[in-house]
Amino acid sequence: MLNTINEHLLLNKIRIIFLGGNRIINEETGEQFFTATFYYLFSNIEKGYKEITKEIETITEKGGDIAMTIAMQLREEGLKEGRYKTQKETVVKLFTKAGFTVAQITEYLDLDKDFVMKILKEAKLIKE
């Protein structure tokens, strides 16, 4: 979604939004505003965390700290999700090599058939 927005335009809009938020950052609702906004923003972009965080730090140090914390949390969640996906792919391949059918794999591992087929095609364990 936000990945299609020009980075320069995005940074300018962030500056405008958070200049107003700077006045309320030390209030409970202000911190909640920053936290919720960063979670939404960082969940919808693939890169640019550092640039956005640096921009926020020029407006408010506390806001920059919040942004950095959230960026690190989301990055860690992404790494965990990536590891989880890799583990699922490995298990699918092992089940296939052990002689299980696609139907059995999808049933036993509670996975989508298209996901299983994609893994097996990429690994050249089945023909297209």
Decide: 116 and 105 in contact? Cβ < 8 Å. yes
Number of structural domains in the chain: 1
Q: 83 lies in which domain range?
A: 2-122
Is residue 127 one of the residues assigned to a domain? no
Overall residue count recorded for the chain in this entry: 128
Is residue 128 one of the residues assigned to a domain? no
Find the angle CA(63)-CA(35)-CA(60) to the nearest 5 degrees.
10
List of the chain residues with pLDDT < 70 = 1-8, 10, 20-30, 44-47, 49, 128
pLDDT at 51: 76
Tens-digit pLDDT profile for residues 85-111: 888 888 888 888 888 899 998 988 888
Nearby residues of 14 by Cβ (< 8 Å), 6 or more positions away: 41, 52, 55, 56
Is residue 38 one of the residues assigned to a domain? yes
Is residue 54 one of the residues assigned to a domain? yes
Q: Which two tokens stand for residue 102?
A: 């696609």
pTM of the entire predicted model: 0.50
**Phi, psi for 122 (deg, rounded to 5):** -65, -35
Cα 31 to Cα 24: distance, rounded to the nearest angstrom: 8
CB atoms within 10 A of CB 66: 21
pLDDT at 118: 92
Decide: 63 and 57 in contact? Cβ < 8 Å. yes
